[in-house]
Amino acid sequence: MLELIARSGATATVPERYVEHFAEQLRGGLVRPSDPGYDTVRGVWNGMIDRHPGLIARCAGAADVMAAVSFAREHDLLLAVRGGGHNVSGNAVCDGGLVIDLSASRAVHVDPVGRTVLAQAGATIGDLDHETQAFGLAVPMGVVSQTGVTGLTLGGGLGWLRRRYGLSSDNLVQADVVTADGRLIVAGPEDHADLLWALRGGGGNFGVATSLTYRAHPVGPEVFFAVVLHPRSDASGALRFFRQWQATAPEEISALGVLWHAPSIDEIPAEYHGSPVVLYLALHCGSPADGERALEPLRGYGSPIADLSAAMSYLDVQQYLDADYPAHTKRYYWKSRFLGGLPDDAVDLLIGLNDAAPTPDSTLDLWQLGGAMSRVPPGDSAFGGRSAPLLLAIEANWEHARHDDACIAWVRRVYAAVEPYASGGEYVNFPGFYEDSEAVVRSTFGQNLSRLTALKRRYDPGNMFRLNHNIRPD
Ligand SMILES: Cc1cc2nc3c(=O)[nH]c(=O)nc-3n(C[C@H](O)[C@H](O)[C@H](O)COP(=O)(O)OP(=O)(O)OC[C@H]3O[C@@H](n4cnc5c(N)ncnc54)[C@H](O)[C@@H]3O)c2cc1C
C-alpha cells in the first residue's frame, strides 16, 4: 500500500498494483519519492518552496493527463498541476498528493499564414518567443522569459504588449483541457465557448490545459526599449511625472514604474549602488524609430542617473529581466493590488515603503494598464481588473531563509497600507500564498463570479482543481 494525501488532507492508501498500472499508462513516466530524479523534479522556481509530492506524473501529452486526472479522481487524491512551475505560491506542487507535471511538454507550432500559435502546456515564454520571432510575430506574454505560458495565460497575462494587443488570455483562441471527469474538451469560440471564457483569467480552476492556441501579431525584430533611473532625491518628482505621462502615452507603449534599489553594475555610477531609485521601463512595439520618438518625453524628464534606453531585439527585451529572477536559489513572496489612481499621498507612501524594503532586490512595480486590455468589456472574459489604470505588484525577493519573516511582513505591510487606493481586487498571478483567497476571489472576479461558480459546478463539481484562487463549486 502506498500512503498518499487525499483532497480532504486525510491519508489515502492506494494499493501498489494500482500505482504500477498507472505508471504503465504514462508515456512521460511516473516519479516516486524513491526515484533518483525526484528531488530535481519536485523543485519549483521559488527557492522557498520545499514540498514532497507522493507521486509526480510527468505528462507527455493529453493521454497521460487523462490517465492522471482519472487516477486522482478514483483515489480522491490531492492534486497539483504544474505548467512552468513559476508561480510564487509553489502550488504547482503539493505535499503527499499527485502532481500532474507538464513542464517537459514544451513544443510550439506557429502558423505564420493564419498567424496562430499552438503551445504545449509546459512551454515557457522564451520557447514561444523563439518560435514566433522566426516569423516576425509575437504573442502578448509576460516580461520574464522563463515563466510558463499556461499558468500566466490562465490568470490573465500582463506583458510588454498588453496595451497594444491585450492580455495573453485575450489572445487565447482555443484550449485543449482535460476536465475532472478525465475527458478532453476542445474549448473554442464555437464549442465550449463558456469554458474558454472561464479559462481567460479564471486560473486553473476548470481542468488541466494540455495545449493552448493563440493569435499572434507582427512585432520586431527590433523595437525601442526605455530604461531610465532616477535618484532617491527626485523619487517624488519622477513618480509624479510617470503618473502624468503614462495616462496619455500611446498604446504602442506599455510601461512599468519601479521603486527599487540600484544594483551594483558598471552602467550606474557607484555612488548610487544600493540606494533607492525610481526606474522607468517602457517598450514601444512599433518600429525602433517610432519608438525612440514616442519615448522621448519619458526620457526627457529630470536628471536621470542612468539612461540605458536603446533599440534592441524584441527577444532581448523579453529576456532583459531574466537574470534578476534566478530559479531555485532565491526566495520570493509577491502580492498585488489594482489601484484606482496614484494621488500625491500614495506616491509619498510608496517611496517610504521602498526605503523600508527588507532587501535591495525587493521592488514595488507600478504596471501601466489601459489601452487594448481595457477595451475588452469586463463580461467578455473571466479576467477581473480591466478598469483599473494601474496595478501595484509588491515583490519581496531575497536569498536567506533568515529574512523570510521580514520579507513576508513587508509585502503584507505594503498590501495593507495601499488599501485606501485599491480598486477591484488583486492580480491572481501574484497570489502570495493564497491567504484570504475567498475574499480575493470575490473582490477580483466581481460580477463574473456567479458565472464562474456555475461553470465550476459544471466542469469540476468535486473541486479537484483547488490549489489556486479557488472558485468553489458551492
Ligand atoms: C519571474 C516571474 C516573472 C513573472 N512575470 C510576469 C509577467 O510579466 N506578467 C504576468 O502576468 N505574470 C508574471 N508572472 C506571474 C506568472 O504569470 C504566474 O506565476 C503564473 O502562474 C506562472 O505560470 P506557470 O505555468 O509557470 O506556473 P505554475 O507554477 O506551473 O502554475 C501556476 C498555477 O497555474 C495553474 N496551471 C499551471 N499549468 C496548468 C495547466 N496546464 N492546466 C491548468 N492549470 C494550470 C495551476 O493552478 C498552478 O498552480 C511572473 C512570475 C515569475 C516567477
Residue from 44, 56, 152 to probe ligand 1 pocket by mutation (most atoms less than 8 Å from CB)? 152
Mean pLDDT for all residues in the chain: 97
Please name which of 104, 23, 69, 75 lies closest in space to residue 178, comparing C-alpha atoms. 69
pLDDT at 435: 87
Dist. CA 272 → ligand 1 center (Å): 34
Which domains occur in the chain, in start order? 2-101 (3.30.43.10), 108-218 (3.30.465.10), 222-437 (3.40.462.20)
The percent of residues above 70 in pLDDT, for the chain, comes to: 100
pLDDT at 214: 98
Rounded distance between C-alpha atoms, residue 162 and residue 166, angstroms: 4
Question: Of how many residues is the chain composed?
Answer: 474
Residue from 59, 103, 150 to probe ligand 1 pocket by mutation (most atoms less than 8 Å from CB)? 150
Closest-lying ligand 1 atom to the alpha carbon of residue 465: 47
Dist. CA 31 → ligand 1 center (Å): 22
Sheet strands (E) in 121-252: 137-138, 172-178, 184-187, 208-215, 217-218, 222-231
Low-confidence stretches of the chain (pLDDT < 50) are none
pLDDT at 285: 98
Rounded distance between C-alpha atoms, residue 393 and residue 366, angstroms: 7
Kindly state if the Cβ of 57 falls inside 6 Å of ligand 1: no
CB half-sphere exposure, 358, CA atoms < 13 A: 24
Instruction: Give the CA distances from residue 86 to residues 123, 149, 289, in Å, rounded to whole numbers and listed in that order.
Output: 12, 10, 35
Query: CB 412: neighbour CB atoms within 10 A?
Result: 16
Closest-lying ligand 1 atom to the alpha carbon of residue 158: 11
DSSP string, 241-291: HHHHHHHH--TTEEEEEEEEE----TTS-GGGTTSEEEEEEEEE-S-HHHH
pLDDT at 375: 95
Parallel, antiparallel or unpaired: strands 363-368 and 253-261: antiparallel
The percent of residues above 90 in pLDDT, for the chain, comes to: 96
Kindly state if the Cβ of 150 falls inside 6 Å of ligand 1: yes
pLDDT at 436: 85
Q: Indicate the SS3 state at residue 451.
A: helix
Phi and psi at residue 200, to the nearest 5°: -80, 70
pLDDT at 437: 86
- Residues 6+ away with beta carbon under 8 Å from 120: 61, 102, 105, 106, 107, 108, 210, 211
pLDDT at 385: 83
Residue from 369, 429, 434 to probe ligand 1 pocket by mutation (most atoms less than 8 Å from CB)? 429
**436: amino acid identity, one letter:** D
DSSP string, 19-40: HHHHHHH-SS-EE-TTSTTHHH
Closest-lying ligand 1 atom to the alpha carbon of residue 46: 53
Dist. CA 149 → ligand 1 center (Å): 7
Please name which of 433, 416, 420 lies closest in space to residue 339, comparing C-alpha atoms. 420
